[in-house]
Amino acid sequence: MPLILELRPSIVNEAFPGPSRKESLPLPTEPSILLVRFSSIGDVLLTTPVIRAVRRRWPGSRVSFLVKDTFAPLLEGNPYLDEIIPFSSGGGVRELMSLSDSLKRKRLFLLADLHDSLRSRLLRTLVPAVETVVYSKQLWKRSLLIYGRLDLFGERILSVPERYAKPLAGLGVELDSAPCELYPGERERDLALEKIRGCWPAGNRLLAVAPGSAWPTKRWPPASFAAAAAGLAQSYGLKVLLLGSGDDSGACRAVEDALDRRVERLNLAGALPLAASAAAVAQSSLLLTNDTGLMHVATAVGTPVVAVFGCTTRHLGYFPYRSEAARVVEAELWCRPCTHNGRRRCPLGHFRCMKSIGPERVAEAGAELLEQAGKTPGTEEDKPGDIC
């Protein structure tokens, strides 16, 4: 069978970008702009530097963002957005067709598809705009790296926000040097504090731990999380706060059960909505986590974070974005990355990418960040800790 190389438009545009339209593009007085990213936690948060850049490029514009209703709270309070358009998480073609009718009335100057999914492609065909740009997932580079061990990313690996912004560069959109943004509201903050203060009074320093992930190969072993958290909690006088969705309850319970009896802990897995979990992260001195959405939440709210990466690597663009208070702990193995997203099990059966990372490495990285933030080691009495 002959080898067929399909040149998608995005690949051709990357190879032959053509002249920049930065200066020649006519600029409406109040352009209507639609950004599209339906999911998920990390991907949506990583659009916030682009939202900021678009607003800076067109200060008088009306900027709307189309996102699944589940993830809309991540954008609430963003000062650079005029409108958040929620799309039902179970919504199909009929809802998209109905939505497209209202979007047509906006007479869009710019439609930026930052997802490039089947749903967003259909939306692009239904909704006209003066300018339509599409984020490239770099599928061919990604596939060659994962399945052929051929690295074509080069030394300068673009982060996901930089990849989002790349097709907008010809329109004069440029990223600044700031990290992602997230603005938990007072209601979410009060809800998180109510749960926390129901266990401990105000003034306690918190160590947040988020051991869950949708994919098993992205989860560091619960016993390792427990050992690293216990060491930091006892050295710095921290209370352990376990966070995650209802789907993460099992992982959080396993860490809770493995924690040293002297460590005080509160398991809030499944007890807080997404924005309130973000507020809880914002109240913490440090977050220990995997390569998950809460890692990006931490960088967006300014909380120091240590992230353990297993089956994924920097090449995929999801390392903490422009945060000086973030550390990634990983193992150097030839078989990484074995996936762009995650797997149910290690394809080689050894899971060394996670099992070979000792708790002392994560605890050391956490201690460095705590001391960088001015937290000094404290003492914990040799007595059983409270379990809330």
**The predicted structure's pLDDT at residue 157:** 95
**The predicted structure's pLDDT at residue 90:** 85
In the chain, the percentage of residues whose pLDDT exceeds 90 is 86
**The predicted structure's pLDDT at residue 119:** 96
Distance CA 252, CA 171 (A): 45
Distance CA 61, CA 329 (A): 41
Distance CA 195, CA 173 (A): 42
Q: Is the pLDDT of residue 71 over 60?
A: yes
Distance CA 240, CA 271 (A): 15
Distance CA 214, CA 201 (A): 33
Q: Looking at the whole model, is its pTM more than 0.85? A: yes
Q: What is the rounded average pLDDT for all residues in the chain?
A: 91
Distance of alpha carbon 318 from the chain centroid: 7
**The predicted structure's pLDDT at residue 43:** 98
Q: Which domains does the chain have, with CATH numbers?
A: 30-171 (3.40.50.2000), 186-372 (3.40.50.2000)
Distance of alpha carbon 130 from the chain centroid: 30
Q: What are the CA-CA distances from residue 63 to residues 35, 158, 334 (Å)?
A: 8, 25, 43
Q: Is the pLDDT of residue 10 over 80?
A: no
**The predicted structure's pLDDT at residue 91:** 85
Closest CA to 248 of 276, 210, 277: 210
Better-scored residue on pLDDT, 216 or 385: 216
End-to-end CA distance of the chain: 63
Q: For the segment 304-318, what is each residue's pLDDT rounded down to a tens digit?
A: 999 999 999 999 999
Q: What are the CA-CA distances from residue 168 to residues 21, 30, 114, 307 (Å)?
A: 10, 18, 11, 30
In the chain, the percentage of residues whose pLDDT exceeds 70 is 89
* Average pLDDT for 339-345: 95
Give the pLDDT band (50/70/90) at residue 25: low
Q: Is the pLDDT of residue 5 over 70?
A: no
Q: For the segment 129-170, what is each residue's pLDDT rounded down to a tens digit?
A: 999 999 999 999 999 999 999 999 998 999 999 999 999 999
Q: For the segment 292-304, what is each residue's pLDDT rounded down to a tens digit?
A: 999 999 999 999 9
**The predicted structure's pLDDT at residue 317:** 96
* Average pLDDT for 332-353: 96
